[in-house]
Structure 1
Amino acid sequence: MDMSVSGQQATRLPDFIIGGAPKCGTTSLHFILGQNPEIGLPDEEIHYFDADDPITHPDFLFAGQQGLSWFDARPAHADNYAWYASRFAPFQSVRRIGEDSTTYLFSEVAPARIKSLLPDVKLVFMLRDPVKRAYSQYWHLIRSARTSATFEQAIIDHASILKGSTFAPHLRTYLKTFDPAQVRVVLFEDFLADQQDTIDSLTDFIDAPRMSLETAKTWFNRTLYPSRPGLQRLQNRVGKHIVARRYRTHMGEGSGQISPFWHKMHYRWFAYVAPLLLTREKAPPMAEATRAYLAQHLSARNAGLSDLLDRDLSQVWKGFEGRG
């Protein structure tokens, strides 16, 4: 997709976007598609179109003596647009270019911004049992030292946990903003059941050559959980002050300052301290009272999702009620 802004030289920008949701298998999808020689995907998630959202990206905003510093994601901001375009510079000769930013699905601002810059882009969203997705995100926050709370307290403290499992209203926005033919929704459960069929349908959707998974690597990484959750939460009381600075330069060196001292702290924490308790292969079971609350609340947040996807999701997600 050739685009230019304010007279800048035309640059190929994404033909497709994997827009979410987080903890729904998008990393595995990215990993597989990235092995297709005719598909170009930057290694990192980009987060250009929602970089100014303090709920999903608090590390991209900085409160200082001169006020709030933030990354301006509007294409008219030439320097930031150039940063975005530069992410795709290595892939100008491949058939299809994509990006993976899993918070776009539940962003309030991303749909209109994407439409403005990439009106013909294809959008891929992966959904998962919303209760399991929320629990998975919590353990991601624990593993990355971003919370020291119990799951129940994290539901209260971290708005992104429930927001990330709220699919229906955000999908409706995308389907209204774009031609529905540009939007493809995949269920994580279907992906697990038949990866080849899922990949075939998606490569067809983005008009890229099909790829055989017999020769591709389909296993990305193994997720480990703390052997002693209480001790892990205590450890995270220290760790969260270190990781708070981890992504300060994600949007380029000018987006935030971080000292060599904190670079060393990050490395040592994630290389030596963080893995100490991460030895368990399965997450501890969720409290049944918490599961019951989430099942009814996330069903209400996703009212009408079965109708939207023309599929009875109660047959896929235990306890889900998505009609009406």
Structure 2
Amino acid sequence: MTPDFIIGGAPKCGTTSLHQILDRHPDVWMARNEIYFFDADDPIAHGDFLGMDGPDLDWRDPAAPEVQSWYEARFADAPPGAMLGEDTTTYLMSDVAAFRIKASNPKTKVIFMLRDPVKRAFSQYWHLLRSGRTSLSLEEALSAEHSIILGSTYAPRLRQFRDALGPDNVHVVLFEAFNANRQAAIDEVTGFLGLSPMSIEDVETWHNRTHYPKRLRRLQRLNRVGQILVKYRYARHFGAGTPRMAKLAHRAYRRWFRYVSERVLTEDKPPEAMRDKTRDYLLRHLSDRNAGLSEMIGVDLARFWPGFTG
């Protein structure tokens, strides 16, 4: 049992909203939450699942029978005949996911949501802060937290997916176009998947709203303590076999995160804007990293992403 389609990224680009909307389609069944199967052992895309077992490396092998059984079980409750879907936003950051998806089912359709790479990088930074993964400034985090840059590097791995699955099995949704006309964007997605059209007039179309701290320094101080627990954030992701101490640490992380969410993350806007010199750097660097992207997807991205030259 494998999915018919996958929402493969990018992070902080509206994929949760797309997941929730498609889950309302009568012919679709979406697996809950992000799964992280095809990149479970990829330390670049998702290093949370590599750890230590004494002196040995502890890792999840997607080819192992027990991990494959775990993955198939995520779809066990789907009704007969439903189109199966999953989403994992780190697949677009992985150099192995495209080829593993092809080996699993070469007919899999993949959807990517892409956003102005500079704004996405800024949003990723705040995501790292909110989840306790960093206590650094944005400028310091650019070299310490690779997901900020890697998550906004679309072109190379999008090309991999098109090569592996064929361009007809890869669909791109621009976050900005989605926000401007969500019905039109969903019509394109359902057409791509071969589904009947769906009206989203009565469907909640905005999920996973972002909240920010009133004072950045307070969150940074909390994170210097909370980072001790962050490595246990996904400790129970694969279920059976989780060591007891890891379960307890995971529970402690959830309590810490709930405290921060309820008492610190209370604002609708970031307390600080991006510095001009940082924006100039990201615009140039991420344009170069995404060279050829406009031509690849047939859209002049400068229309949507001001200053972008890729």
RMSD, matched Cα: 1.5
Does the residue aligned with 1:89 lie in a helix, a strand or coil? coil
CA distance in 2, matches of 1:273, 1:219: 22
What is the aligned residue count?
A: 309
Q: Which runs of 5+ in 2 are unaligned?
A: none
Asked if the contact 2:111–2:171 (Cα under 8 Å) also holds between the matched residues in 1, the reply is yes
Go from structure 1 to structure 2 and tell me whether the alpha carbon gap of 1:259 and 1:17 turns closer, same or farther (over 3 Å shift): closer
Q: State the Cα deviation string for residues 20-61 of structure 1 (Å, max 9, x = none).
A: 111111011111111222211112101100000123322211
Structure-1 residue corresponding to 2:143: 156
Aligned-pair CA distance for 1:268? 2.3
Asked if the contact 1:32–1:216 (Cα under 8 Å) also holds between the matched residues in 2, the reply is yes
Aligned-pair CA distance for 1:133? 0.4
Structure-2 residue corresponding to 1:64: 53
Q: Which runs of 5+ in 1 are unaligned?
A: 1-11
Go from structure 1 to structure 2 and tell me whether the alpha carbon gap of 1:321 and 1:72 turns closer, same or farther (over 3 Å shift): same
CA distance in 2, matches of 1:139, 1:43: 24
Structure-2 residue corresponding to 1:103: 90
Larger displacement relative to structure 2 (291-300 or 309-318): 309-318
Structure-2 residue corresponding to 1:287: 275
Matched, 1:175 2:162: yes
Structure-2 residue corresponding to 1:128: 115
CA distance in 2, matches of 1:213, 1:23: 21
Structure-1 residue corresponding to 2:16: 27
TM-score, structure 1 normalization = 0.91
Give % identity. Answer: 49
CA distance in 2, matches of 1:294, 1:314: 15
Matched, 1:42 2:31: yes
- The one of 268, 284, 300 aligned to 1:312: 300
Structure-2 residue corresponding to 1:240: 227
Matched, 1:52 2:41: yes
Asked if the contact 2:235–2:247 (Cα under 8 Å) also holds between the matched residues in 1, the reply is no
CA distance in 2, matches of 1:225, 1:47: 26
- The one of 178, 190, 197 aligned to 1:210: 197
Does the residue aligned with 2:253 lie in a helix, a strand or coil? helix
CA distance in 2, matches of 1:42, 1:52: 20
Q: State the Cα deviation string for residues 274-314 of structure 1 (Å, max 9, x = none).
A: 43221221122100000000000000000111111122111
Amino acid at match of 1:220: H
CA distance in 2, matches of 1:67, 1:260: 20
Q: State the Cα deviation string for residues 75-94 of structure 1 (Å, max 9, x = none).
A: xx211111110001111424
TM-score, structure 2 normalization = 0.95
- The one of 288, 295, 300 aligned to 1:300: 288
